[in-house]
Protein backbone atom coordinates (compact mmCIF):
# COMPACT_ATOMS: atom_id res chain seq x y z
CA UNK A 1 0.00 0.00 0.00
CA UNK A 2 1.39 3.40 -1.00
CA UNK A 3 0.82 6.39 1.21
CA UNK A 4 1.21 9.91 -0.18
CA UNK A 5 0.97 13.29 1.35
CA UNK A 6 1.81 16.89 0.75
CA UNK A 7 4.09 18.78 3.03
CA UNK A 8 4.88 22.47 3.12
CA UNK A 9 8.26 23.43 1.74
CA UNK A 10 8.65 26.75 3.46
CA UNK A 11 9.40 26.19 7.11
CA UNK A 12 8.77 23.77 9.92
CA UNK A 13 5.83 25.77 11.38
CA UNK A 14 3.85 25.05 8.22
CA UNK A 15 4.23 21.26 8.37
CA UNK A 16 0.93 19.59 9.15
CA UNK A 17 1.77 15.89 9.42
CA UNK A 18 3.99 12.98 8.48
CA UNK A 19 2.98 9.54 7.24
CA UNK A 20 4.47 6.69 9.30
CA UNK A 21 4.81 3.85 6.79
CA UNK A 22 5.71 1.35 9.51
CA UNK A 23 4.99 -2.17 8.25
CA UNK A 24 2.83 -1.11 5.31
CA UNK A 25 5.08 -3.15 3.01
CA UNK A 26 3.64 -6.26 4.72
CA UNK A 27 -0.11 -5.78 4.14
CA UNK A 28 -0.97 -9.45 4.65
CA UNK A 29 0.71 -9.58 8.06
CA UNK A 30 -0.94 -6.59 9.75
CA UNK A 31 -3.17 -8.75 11.97
CA UNK A 32 -0.31 -11.07 12.94
CA UNK A 33 1.99 -8.14 13.72
CA UNK A 34 -0.73 -6.53 15.85
CA UNK A 35 -1.05 -9.73 17.89
CA UNK A 36 2.74 -10.03 18.31
CA UNK A 37 3.18 -6.42 19.46
CA UNK A 38 0.17 -6.68 21.77
CA UNK A 39 1.64 -9.76 23.47
CA UNK A 40 5.05 -8.08 23.70
CA UNK A 41 3.58 -4.92 25.25
CA UNK A 42 1.50 -6.90 27.74
CA UNK A 43 4.60 -8.94 28.67
CA UNK A 44 6.65 -5.76 29.17
CA UNK A 45 3.99 -4.22 31.40
CA UNK A 46 3.48 -7.40 33.42
CA UNK A 47 7.15 -8.35 33.77
CA UNK A 48 8.46 -4.92 34.69
CA UNK A 49 5.51 -4.23 37.00
CA UNK A 50 6.29 -7.48 38.81
CA UNK A 51 9.91 -6.36 39.27
CA UNK A 52 8.70 -3.01 40.66
CA UNK A 53 6.33 -4.70 43.12
CA UNK A 54 8.79 -7.25 44.47
CA UNK A 55 11.52 -4.63 44.93
CA UNK A 56 9.05 -2.56 46.96
CA UNK A 57 7.41 -5.22 49.16
CA UNK A 58 10.20 -7.78 49.70
CA UNK A 59 12.33 -7.00 52.75
CA UNK A 60 15.34 -8.91 51.39
CA UNK A 61 15.41 -6.67 48.29
CA UNK A 62 15.58 -3.34 50.12
CA UNK A 63 19.09 -2.62 48.85
CA UNK A 64 20.49 0.00 46.43
CA UNK A 65 20.84 -2.60 43.66
CA UNK A 66 17.12 -3.44 43.70
CA UNK A 67 16.14 0.19 44.30
CA UNK A 68 17.83 1.02 40.97
CA UNK A 69 16.33 -2.08 39.34
CA UNK A 70 12.80 -1.08 40.37
CA UNK A 71 13.27 2.41 38.96
CA UNK A 72 14.85 0.97 35.82
CA UNK A 73 11.81 -1.27 35.29
CA UNK A 74 9.52 1.74 35.64
CA UNK A 75 11.65 3.53 33.04
CA UNK A 76 11.27 0.55 30.67
CA UNK A 77 7.48 0.80 30.94
CA UNK A 78 7.61 4.52 30.12
CA UNK A 79 10.07 3.95 27.27
CA UNK A 80 7.95 1.36 25.48
CA UNK A 81 4.73 3.29 26.11
CA UNK A 82 6.07 6.07 23.88
CA UNK A 83 6.17 3.79 20.83
CA UNK A 84 4.18 0.54 21.11
CA UNK A 85 0.67 2.01 21.65
CA UNK A 86 1.19 4.10 18.51
CA UNK A 87 2.41 1.03 16.56
CA UNK A 88 -0.62 -0.96 17.75
CA UNK A 89 -2.96 1.86 16.74
CA UNK A 90 -1.42 2.08 13.26
CA UNK A 91 -1.69 -1.68 12.76
CA UNK A 92 -5.29 -1.81 13.99
CA UNK A 93 -6.94 1.19 12.33
CA UNK A 94 -4.49 1.55 9.43
CA UNK A 95 -4.20 5.30 9.98
CA UNK A 96 -0.57 6.21 9.52
CA UNK A 97 -0.85 10.00 9.88
CA UNK A 98 1.04 11.60 12.74
CA UNK A 99 0.90 15.34 13.32
CA UNK A 100 4.02 17.47 13.39
CA UNK A 101 3.54 18.17 17.11
CA UNK A 102 2.87 14.52 18.00
CA UNK A 103 5.98 13.48 16.08
CA UNK A 104 8.08 16.08 17.92
CA UNK A 105 6.72 14.95 21.30
CA UNK A 106 7.39 11.30 20.49
CA UNK A 107 10.95 12.00 19.34
CA UNK A 108 11.69 14.22 22.33
CA UNK A 109 10.34 11.62 24.76
CA UNK A 110 12.39 8.86 23.14
CA UNK A 111 15.62 10.86 23.27
CA UNK A 112 15.04 11.92 26.88
CA UNK A 113 14.15 8.42 28.11
CA UNK A 114 16.96 6.89 26.05
CA UNK A 115 19.49 9.17 27.76
CA UNK A 116 17.93 8.31 31.12
CA UNK A 117 18.27 4.59 30.38
CA UNK A 118 21.91 5.01 29.40
CA UNK A 119 22.75 6.70 32.70
CA UNK A 120 20.67 4.22 34.70
CA UNK A 121 22.83 1.42 33.28
CA UNK A 122 25.93 3.43 34.23
CA UNK A 123 24.76 3.98 37.82
CA UNK A 124 23.79 0.30 38.15
CA UNK A 125 27.30 -0.69 37.06
CA UNK A 126 28.76 1.79 39.58
CA UNK A 127 26.61 0.18 42.28
CA UNK A 128 28.04 -3.26 41.38
CA UNK A 129 31.56 -1.80 41.33
CA UNK A 130 31.23 -0.40 44.86
CA UNK A 131 29.53 -3.58 46.16
CA UNK A 132 32.25 -5.90 44.83
CA UNK A 133 35.38 -3.76 44.87
CA UNK A 134 34.70 -1.72 48.04
CA UNK A 135 32.32 -3.90 50.10
CA UNK A 136 33.29 -2.40 53.48
CA UNK A 137 32.41 1.12 52.30
CA UNK A 138 29.30 0.08 50.36
CA UNK A 139 26.69 1.09 53.04
CA UNK A 140 28.38 4.49 53.39
CA UNK A 141 28.92 5.24 49.69
CA UNK A 142 25.56 3.90 48.48
CA UNK A 143 23.38 5.26 51.28
CA UNK A 144 19.67 5.81 50.63
CA UNK A 145 19.96 9.59 50.33
CA UNK A 146 22.69 9.36 47.71
CA UNK A 147 20.76 6.71 45.76
CA UNK A 148 17.68 8.93 45.76
CA UNK A 149 19.66 11.91 44.48
CA UNK A 150 21.22 9.75 41.77
CA UNK A 151 17.81 8.56 40.56
CA UNK A 152 16.40 12.11 40.50
CA UNK A 153 19.46 13.36 38.63
CA UNK A 154 19.21 10.52 36.08
CA UNK A 155 15.56 11.32 35.34
CA UNK A 156 16.39 15.00 34.82
CA UNK A 157 19.63 14.66 32.85
CA UNK A 158 18.01 13.72 29.55
CA UNK A 159 15.75 16.80 29.38
CA UNK A 160 18.34 19.26 27.97
CA UNK A 161 19.33 16.75 25.29
CA UNK A 162 15.68 16.13 24.45
CA UNK A 163 14.98 19.83 24.04
CA UNK A 164 18.11 20.57 22.01
CA UNK A 165 17.95 17.55 19.70
CA UNK A 166 14.23 17.92 19.05
CA UNK A 167 14.60 21.62 18.27
CA UNK A 168 17.54 20.91 15.93
CA UNK A 169 15.57 18.33 13.93
CA UNK A 170 12.24 20.13 13.74
CA UNK A 171 13.76 23.50 12.89
CA UNK A 172 14.69 21.98 9.52
CA UNK A 173 12.65 22.53 6.37
CA UNK A 174 11.02 19.42 4.92
CA UNK A 175 10.34 19.13 1.22
CA UNK A 176 9.04 16.51 -1.20
CA UNK A 177 7.42 13.43 0.30
CA UNK A 178 6.23 13.41 3.89
CA UNK A 179 6.37 9.61 4.10
CA UNK A 180 8.46 8.58 7.11
CA UNK A 181 9.70 5.07 6.40
CA UNK A 182 9.90 3.98 10.01
CA UNK A 183 7.73 2.60 12.82
CA UNK A 184 8.01 5.78 14.92
CA UNK A 185 9.53 9.26 14.72
CA UNK A 186 13.30 8.91 14.96
CA UNK A 187 16.23 11.12 13.96
CA UNK A 188 17.74 9.19 10.98
CA UNK A 189 14.48 8.86 8.96
CA UNK A 190 13.50 12.47 9.74
CA UNK A 191 16.85 13.77 8.49
CA UNK A 192 16.29 11.86 5.24
CA UNK A 193 13.14 13.91 4.61
CA UNK A 194 14.82 17.23 5.32
CA UNK A 195 15.88 19.41 2.42
CA UNK A 196 19.10 21.37 2.40
CA UNK A 197 22.31 20.66 4.26
CA UNK A 198 21.83 18.48 7.36
CA UNK A 199 25.54 18.01 8.15
CA UNK A 200 25.34 20.25 11.22
CA UNK A 201 22.38 18.24 12.53
CA UNK A 202 24.24 14.98 11.93
CA UNK A 203 27.24 16.38 13.81
CA UNK A 204 24.92 17.29 16.69
CA UNK A 205 23.57 13.72 16.70
CA UNK A 206 27.10 12.31 16.89
CA UNK A 207 27.98 14.71 19.70
CA UNK A 208 24.88 13.71 21.65
CA UNK A 209 25.57 10.02 21.07
CA UNK A 210 29.14 10.52 22.29
CA UNK A 211 28.01 12.20 25.51
CA UNK A 212 25.04 9.98 26.29
CA UNK A 213 26.19 6.65 24.80
CA UNK A 214 29.97 6.48 24.30
CA UNK A 215 31.05 8.04 27.60
CA UNK A 216 28.68 5.96 29.81
CA UNK A 217 29.53 2.75 27.94
CA UNK A 218 33.27 3.38 28.38
CA UNK A 219 32.78 4.02 32.10
CA UNK A 220 30.74 0.81 32.36
CA UNK A 221 33.51 -1.07 30.53
CA UNK A 222 36.12 0.37 32.92
CA UNK A 223 34.05 -0.53 36.00
CA UNK A 224 33.66 -4.12 34.83
CA UNK A 225 37.38 -4.49 34.23
CA UNK A 226 37.84 -3.56 37.90
CA UNK A 227 34.97 -5.85 38.94
CA UNK A 228 36.31 -8.87 37.05
CA UNK A 229 39.80 -8.36 38.49
CA UNK A 230 38.32 -8.27 42.00
CA UNK A 231 36.09 -11.32 41.41
CA UNK A 232 39.02 -13.40 40.16
CA UNK A 233 40.81 -12.70 43.44
CA UNK A 234 37.93 -14.04 45.58
CA UNK A 235 39.00 -17.19 47.48
CA UNK A 236 35.60 -18.87 47.30
CA UNK A 237 34.43 -20.47 44.03
CA UNK A 238 30.80 -20.02 45.15
CA UNK A 239 31.43 -16.33 45.80
CA UNK A 240 32.93 -15.91 42.33
CA UNK A 241 29.94 -17.64 40.71
CA UNK A 242 27.45 -15.49 42.62
CA UNK A 243 29.29 -12.28 41.72
CA UNK A 244 29.56 -13.26 38.05
CA UNK A 245 25.86 -14.22 37.96
CA UNK A 246 24.77 -10.85 39.35
CA UNK A 247 27.01 -8.90 36.97
CA UNK A 248 26.19 -10.97 33.87
CA UNK A 249 22.51 -9.97 34.12
CA UNK A 250 23.42 -6.31 33.96
CA UNK A 251 26.00 -6.85 31.21
CA UNK A 252 23.43 -8.62 29.02
CA UNK A 253 21.05 -5.65 29.23
CA UNK A 254 23.98 -3.27 28.59
CA UNK A 255 25.00 -5.21 25.47
CA UNK A 256 21.46 -5.21 24.03
CA UNK A 257 20.88 -1.51 24.60
CA UNK A 258 24.25 0.01 23.69
CA UNK A 259 24.92 -2.37 20.80
CA UNK A 260 21.74 -1.46 18.92
CA UNK A 261 22.03 2.26 19.78
CA UNK A 262 25.63 2.49 18.55
CA UNK A 263 24.77 0.85 15.23
CA UNK A 264 21.73 3.10 14.78
CA UNK A 265 23.22 6.49 15.62
CA UNK A 266 26.97 6.19 15.03
CA UNK A 267 27.23 4.29 11.76
CA UNK A 268 27.76 6.31 8.54
CA UNK A 269 24.70 7.86 6.91
CA UNK A 270 25.43 6.02 3.65
CA UNK A 271 24.93 2.65 5.36
CA UNK A 272 21.45 3.47 6.67
CA UNK A 273 18.55 1.54 5.17
CA UNK A 274 14.88 1.65 6.24
CA UNK A 275 14.64 -2.10 6.87
CA UNK A 276 17.76 -2.28 9.03
CA UNK A 277 16.83 0.90 10.92
CA UNK A 278 13.40 -0.50 11.77
CA UNK A 279 14.86 -3.74 13.14
CA UNK A 280 17.55 -1.97 15.17
CA UNK A 281 15.05 0.49 16.61
CA UNK A 282 12.95 -2.42 17.87
CA UNK A 283 15.99 -3.78 19.72
CA UNK A 284 16.61 -0.76 21.93
CA UNK A 285 12.99 0.37 22.33
CA UNK A 286 11.19 -2.99 22.69
CA UNK A 287 13.44 -6.03 23.10
CA UNK A 288 15.56 -4.61 25.93
CA UNK A 289 12.47 -3.73 28.05
CA UNK A 290 10.98 -7.13 27.17
CA UNK A 291 14.05 -9.13 28.21
CA UNK A 292 14.93 -6.98 31.24
CA UNK A 293 12.60 -8.82 33.71
CA UNK A 294 13.55 -12.23 32.28
CA UNK A 295 17.29 -11.54 32.47
CA UNK A 296 17.18 -10.26 36.04
CA UNK A 297 14.73 -12.88 37.32
CA UNK A 298 16.15 -16.00 35.67
CA UNK A 299 19.74 -15.19 36.67
CA UNK A 300 19.06 -13.86 40.16
CA UNK A 301 18.17 -16.24 42.96
CA UNK A 302 17.01 -13.44 45.28
CA UNK A 303 14.48 -12.27 42.68
CA UNK A 304 13.27 -15.84 42.04
CA UNK A 305 12.72 -16.39 45.77
CA UNK A 306 10.87 -13.07 46.06
CA UNK A 307 8.60 -13.96 43.14
CA UNK A 308 7.82 -17.38 44.65
CA UNK A 309 6.91 -15.70 47.94
CA UNK A 310 4.70 -13.12 46.21
CA UNK A 311 2.81 -15.35 43.77
CA UNK A 312 0.84 -17.38 46.39
CA UNK A 313 -0.44 -14.09 47.85
pLDDT of amino acid 312: 60
Q: What percent of the chain has pLDDT over 70?
A: 87
Q: pLDDT of 160-212, one tens digit each? A: 877 888 888 888 887 767 788 888 888 888 888 887 777 888 888 788 778 88
Q: Is 98 helix (H, G, I), strand (E, B) or coil?
A: strand
Q: Is 1 helix (H, G, I), strand (E, B) or coil?
A: coil
Report DSSP state, residue 19: E
Q: pLDDT of 257-306, one tens digit each? A: 888 777 777 666 655 666 677 777 787 788 888 888 777 776 677 777 77
C-alpha 112/C-alpha 110 separation (Å) is 6
Q: pLDDT of 63-92, one tens digit each? A: 898 899 899 999 999 999 999 999 898 888
pLDDT of amino acid 272: 61
- 140-163 burial: b if 16+ Cβ within 10 Å, else e: ebbeeeebeebbeebbeebeebbe
Kindly tell me if the per-residue pLDDT of 236 is higher than 90: no
| Contact (CB, 8 A) for 260 and 283 | yes
What mean pLDDT is predicted for residues 26-31? 80
What mean pLDDT is predicted for residues 15-24? 78
pLDDT band at residue 147 under the 50/70/90 scheme: very high
Write out the H or E segment, with its range, that includes residue 97.
strand 97-99
Kindly tell me if the per-residue pLDDT of 108 is higher than 60: yes
- In angstroms, the Cα distances linking 235 to 207, 230, 242, 284, 300 are 44, 10, 13, 38, 21
Q: What is the CATH number of domain 12-310?
A: 1.20.1070.10
pLDDT band at residue 4 under the 50/70/90 scheme: very low
Q: pLDDT of 292-313, one tens digit each? A: 877 777 667 777 777 777 766 5
- In angstroms, the Cα distances linking 173 to 67, 169, 242 are 44, 9, 55
When comparing pLDDT for 1 and 42, which is higher?
A: 42
When comparing pLDDT for 294 and 104, which is higher?
A: 104
For the chain, the domains span: 12-310
- Closest by alpha carbon to 279, among 8, 2, 23? 23
pLDDT of amino acid 45: 94
Amino acid sequence: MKYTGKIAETNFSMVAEFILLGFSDLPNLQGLLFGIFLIIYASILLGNSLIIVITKVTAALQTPMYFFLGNFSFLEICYTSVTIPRILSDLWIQKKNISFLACAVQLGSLISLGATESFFLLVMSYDRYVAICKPLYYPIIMNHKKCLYLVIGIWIIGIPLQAAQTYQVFSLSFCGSNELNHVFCDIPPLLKLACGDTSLNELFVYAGATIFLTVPSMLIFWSYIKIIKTILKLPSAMGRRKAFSTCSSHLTVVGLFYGSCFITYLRPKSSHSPGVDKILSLFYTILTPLFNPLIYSLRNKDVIVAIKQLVPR
